[in-house]
Amino acid sequence: MPKELQSPMDSANPAQDVQGIWGMTIDQDLCTGCQACVAACSMENNVPFVGEVDAGYGRSMQWIRIERFWQGSYPNIKATPYQPVMCQNCHNAPCEPVCPVFASVHSASEDLNLQVYNRCVGTRYCANNCPYQARVFNWRDYMDPRQRPELVTLSNHWNPDVTVRRRGIMEKCTFCIQRIRHAEDTAASENRDIRDGEVVPACAQACPASAITFGRINDPATKVSQAADTSRGSHLLEELGTIPHVTYLAGGA
Amino acid sequence: MSALTKPLFAGSKAEEQEDPKEHLMHDRMPRGEMNSMMLDSMHSTTWKYWTVTGVLAAIVATCLFYAWYYLIMNGLGVAGVNRPVYWGIFLVEVVFWIGISHAGTFISAILRVLKVEGRRPFTRAAELMTTFGLVQAGISVFLHMGRVWLSYWLIPIPNERGLWPDFHSPLMWDFMAINTYLLCSTMYLFLPLIPDLAMARDRATGWRKTLYKILAIGFRGTEGEWKNLKTAMNIFAFAIIPVMFSVHTIVSWDFAMATRPGWSSTVFGPYFVIGALHSGMAAVAIVLFLIRSTMKNMKYFLRPEHFELLGMLMLLVSMAWAYFYFNDYLVPWYGGDKWEKILTNFIQTGPEWYLWYLMLFCNVVVPWAILWNRKWRRIPWLLAIVGFLINVGMWLERFIIIPETLTINRMPFTWRLYVPAIEIALTIGNFAFFFLLYMLASRLIPLIPVWEVQEGQESHVLRKIGKARISAVSEID
């Protein structure tokens, strides 16, 4: 586990049941901003399409978004590198303690943030407290074909492994936990550990530039830990002490 | 009766000529006459009363309950909330109404504990404000929730699945605090009401007799009953003061505990308490003006001297609010944190810059410019206007703290303005409901605590010392 991912609490009392901490690196020098990860994520996780009007009003529900800014003023404009942002699965997640009903909880064994859809009552406190603005809210029943007849055909494309969420609840990137569970089950049935690269989230799978690497960051041998350990790595809003599990790589040759 | 006396008003030259009958406490009236005056005002309903009540009820039915039904059936998409402004006017309303509810406790409990004699005729109206304000705050909490039909999950009910609310969450503290406050303030409203209900029971007929008989819980006015009642009221008056302070402090923690620029502030607790008193006092002024100018016989009970007392409190609280606002403003400004700076710039020069200036104008300039003058403080309609403007200002303050502050976060990619939608109708509905409850209460329970006024009149005497007439009050303990 890279040193910066360890909190003082961990070094004092290492969790006994840590199986493997999942993490991700995103190489901003490779990212072309093609939005394939956004599309793949939406298809994999049954993320609804909210329509033009709501999307324009800040209600788009993509679990991953690609940020890009312009620096300077015209004509001396420079674009910043593309920055895909999703839930950073923080070790010290600000979204977790503020939920009054334990809908936003932490997996101690894998250091993941979990969102319990059927426990959420929709106070939206977690979304306010998320410094990355990574959480999205079901403002309407976007997935209900009775309310949106144009979606009737789309309902055949839903991923059966992922819950379809209803209005009034919060959701976010899960690091494709259904794929993690599938790999864990396969490994357990074959009586072995999960191999590096066995779990590929939808965004990483779809990325044509292979900018996204996923794996266990507590094992120094994995590709993802080696990539994260380089001097190019940084975390979003590191100063807040959230200890995120996504490392951004930028500034390389 | 102890012999402790203290001057009620000092004898400056201008006041020596003043007719002591101007003071309610010296304008004695026989008990029976005062009781029937109060009951008369409760019984008389004009067509105007029914029209206003009907219109308010229609507004509540459409703007509040129908709009709420529509909101529940369609989801929060019909409101203006978006990313990043996840909390909109619903939360503004929660904080606003809890703020309004603080005045009742403050005026009633603190002034009772401090034995401020001027409080006597308007404690009841202020206590009702606590309960009615909390009703609106509670409704707004439910309006805000994404899945309101599951809101009972916030209640710690032991269940076979072992599901329990998370007491780490400031929202949970808030939920507990508001419930405690609602229970305490309702009991505190009820206790001083018992003798008046018993008085009404003895003089009422028909369904009113039955109603008051139940509500008065058999109070006959014996020495022992009075003693117990006074003890209970004393306990509640002292105990509810820390509850009141804790409630709005905890409401402020909903914001102050979050890791957001503009919210994460250590001064928020006392600042919110003072803000609550600011809007609450002002609301009492409005309500007293409405009661005085629309209800029968009320000009006897509510006099310029009471508005003057209220005006002084409003001025004091306005100064305290300005002090806390200055603290809350100066420290982040001096600290120069990048995000706080962007936020301050956005609030003062962004697309909604005028709200900030309007807030300062209403909260500071208006009360300071008008309430310093004793003559102006004594004009009820002027005080009502000042009260209205202060409430506009305090509503805007909460609007700036919640939706405007949420617009700015540490991920500039998501910055987006908030445009209220169905919240506007629901806000109108909330206000209409508040006034509707007052309209109904004004004909069902005595809005003036008659026994307290009578007790006050009995304990006041005019003493002649030389040529001066000094008002003296003896404590009945």
The 10s digit of each residue's pLDDT in A16-27 is 556 789 999 999
Interface with B, mutate which of A101, A165, A235, A238 (most B CBs under 10 A): A101
Q: What is the DSSP letter of A19?
A: -
Separation in Å, CA of B304 to nearest CA in chain A? 45
Question: Looking at chain A, which residue has its C-alpha nearest residue B416?
Answer: A58
Average pLDDT, chain A: 88
Tokens of B305: 């001297």
Where would I find the beta strands (DSSP E) of A69-211? 70-71, 78-79, 83-85, 104-107, 112-115, 136-137, 170-171
Q: Do the beta carbons of residue B188 and residue A117 sit within 8 Å? A: no
Question: Looking at chain A, which residue has its C-alpha nearest residue B83?
Answer: A58
Residue A233 sits at φ, ψ, to 5 deg, of -80, 145
Which residues have a Cβ under 8 Å from the Cβ of A132 and sit 6 or more positions away? A85, A87, A88, A236, A237, A244, B410, B411
- Decide if B86 and A119 are in contact by the 8 Å CB cutoff: no
- In sequence order, what DSSP letters do the residues of B397-439 get, joined into one string? HHHIIIIIHHH--S-GGG------SHHHHHHHHHHHHHHHHHH
Q: How many CB atoms lie within 10 A of CB B86?
A: 28
Identity of the amino acid at B402: I
Tokens of B59: 């507004």
Tokens of B275: 């803000």
| Cα B166 from Cα B31, distance rounded (Å) | 54
Bridge partners (DSSP) of residue A105 are A114
> Chain B: which residues have CB within 8 Å of chain A?
74-77, 81-87, 144-148, 150-151, 153-154, 163-166, 168-172, 175, 254, 257-260, 406, 409-414, 416, 419
Which residues have a Cβ under 8 Å from the Cβ of A239 and sit 6 or more positions away? none
- Decide if A125 and B171 are in contact by the 8 Å CB cutoff: yes
Identity of the amino acid at A122: G
Separation in Å, CA of B171 to nearest CA in chain A? 6
Q: Do the beta carbons of residue A23 and residue A228 sit within 8 Å? A: yes
Residue A116 sits at φ, ψ, to 5 deg, of -95, 100
Separation in Å, CA of A123 to nearest CA in chain B? 5
Radius of gyration over every alpha carbon of chain A, rounded to an integer in angstroms:
18
Closest partner residue to B170 among A98, A167, A170, by Cβ?
A98
Separation in Å, CA of B369 to nearest CA in chain A? 38
pLDDT of residue B476: 62
Name the nearest CA neighbour of B414 among A98, A60, A36, A88: A60
Residues of A in contact with B169 (CB under 8 A): 97-100, 125
- Decide if A124 and B146 are in contact by the 8 Å CB cutoff: yes
Instruction: Provide the residue-wise pLDDT of chain B in tens; the chain has 477 residues.
Output: 444 555 555 555 544 456 777 888 888 889 889 999 989 889 888 899 999 999 999 999 999 999 999 999 999 999 999 999 999 999 999 999 999 998 888 888 888 888 888 888 999 999 999 999 999 999 999 999 999 999 999 999 998 888 899 999 999 999 999 999 999 999 999 999 999 999 999 998 899 999 999 999 999 999 999 999 999 999 999 999 999 999 999 999 999 999 999 999 899 999 999 999 999 999 999 999 999 999 988 999 999 999 999 999 999 999 999 999 999 999 888 988 999 999 999 999 999 999 999 999 999 999 999 999 999 999 999 999 999 999 999 999 999 999 999 999 999 999 999 999 999 999 999 999 999 999 999 999 999 999 999 988 888 888 888 888 788 887 765
pLDDT of residue B336: 87
Q: How many CB atoms lie within 10 A of CB B49?
A: 15
- Decide if A167 and B77 are in contact by the 8 Å CB cutoff: yes
Residues of A in contact with B419 (CB under 8 A): 57
Question: Looking at chain B, which residue has its C-alpha nearest residue A59?
Answer: B82
Separation in Å, CA of A191 to nearest CA in chain B? 33
pLDDT of residue B458: 87
Question: Looking at chain A, which residue has its C-alpha nearest residue B403?
Answer: A128
Closest partner residue to A123 among B83, B164, B171, by Cβ?
B171
Identity of the amino acid at B254: D
Q: What is the pLDDT of residues B296-310, one digit of tens each?
A: 889 999 999 999 999
CA torsion angle B315 B321 B322 B326 (round to 10) = 170
Closest partner residue to B169 among A69, A98, A136, by Cβ?
A98
Residue entry with tokens 């800014």 = A69
Residue entry with tokens 């599309």 = A39
Closest partner residue to B259 among A65, A94, A136, by Cβ?
A94
Name the nearest CA neighbour of A45 among A106, A115, A124, A104: A115
| Cα A178 from Cα A163, distance rounded (Å) | 10
Separation in Å, CA of A72 to nearest CA in chain B? 15
Average pLDDT, chain B: 91
The pTM of the full predicted model, rounded to 2 decimals, is 0.92
pLDDT of residue A8: 43
Q: What is the pLDDT of residues B214-263, one digit of tens each?
A: 999 999 999 999 999 999 999 999 999 999 999 999 999 999 999 999 99
- Decide if B163 and A137 are in contact by the 8 Å CB cutoff: no
Closest partner residue to A121 among B81, B147, B406, by Cβ?
B147
| Cα B278 from Cα B314, distance rounded (Å) | 7
Residues of A in contact with B157 (CB under 8 A): none
Radius of gyration over every alpha carbon of chain B, rounded to an integer in angstroms:
24
Closest partner residue to B153 among A58, A121, A124, by Cβ?
A121
- Does the pLDDT of residue A9 top 50, yes or no? no
| Cα B246 from Cα B435, distance rounded (Å) | 27
Q: What is the pLDDT of residues B371-420, one digit of tens each?
A: 999 999 999 999 999 999 999 999 999 999 999 999 999 999 999 999 99
Give the domains, in start order, of chain A with CATH numbers: 3-249 (3.30.70.20)
CA distances (Å), origin B427, targets B64, B93, B473? 8, 7, 45
pLDDT of residue B460: 86
| Cα B101 from Cα B97, distance rounded (Å) | 6
Name the nearest CA neighbour of B203 among B47, B40, B79, B426: B40
| Cα B350 from Cα A218, distance rounded (Å) | 45
Tokens of B451: 């026994």
CATH fold of the domain at B56-152+167-443: Formate dehydrogenase/DMSO reductase fold (1.20.1630)
What's the 3-state SS for A128-152? HHCCCCCCEECCCCCCCCCCCHHHC
Question: Looking at chain A, which residue has its C-alpha nearest residue B264?
Answer: A129
